[in-house]
Amino acid sequence: MSRPNYPIPEDPVYDPNIEQLEDQDPASATQTFNPLIQRLIINTHAARKAATNIDGGSFVEPDPVEGHNSNEFSHANMTVDGASIVLNDRTATLEEHMADEIAHGNIILDGNQK
């Protein structure tokens, strides 16, 4: 039998007032733990919603491959062997990108040809 998930309201509201548990509190899921966990979940979703809407709602989760390619340190010791590099990246994840032979086709790293 599966357990129900904690409900997440459509418009969560952050509430900084979270009571601290004390030694004399009953170890009860319904009276003690679930209300505390539910408040933390609601606060987490309220904070995420606020962060997502901080720029007027146009925030988009960053693409990990684009993040890798645009990071100045990702390809710091890279030189090209003189041939032109065609952007042929068809990967969906950073792991796929790193393993793709075409993504780093004409690259010589620290003098060692791939």
Q: Which long-range contacts (CB under 8 A, 24 or more apart) does 37-43 make?
A: 37/6, 38/6, 38/7, 39/15, 41/6, 41/8, 42/8, 42/9, 42/12, 42/13, 42/14, 42/15, 43/12, 43/14, 43/15, 43/16, 43/18
**Phi/psi-derived region of residue 24, left when phi > 0, alpha when psi is between -120 and 50, beta in every other case:** alpha
Residue 69 confidence (pLDDT)? 75
Euclidean distance between CA atoms 69 and 76, whole angstroms:
11
pLDDT, one tens digit per residue, over 21-65 is 999 999 999 999 999 999 999 999 998 888 766 666 555 666 777
Residue 79 confidence (pLDDT)? 59
pTM of the predicted model, to two decimals?
Answer: 0.46
Task: Give residue for tokens 């004399």.
Answer: 24
Give the residue from 114, 75, 66 showing the smallest Cα distance to 93: 66
Residue 108 confidence (pLDDT)? 60
Overall residue count recorded for the chain in this entry: 114
pLDDT, one tens digit per residue, over 62-110 is 677 777 777 777 766 565 554 444 555 566 777 777 777 766 666 665 5
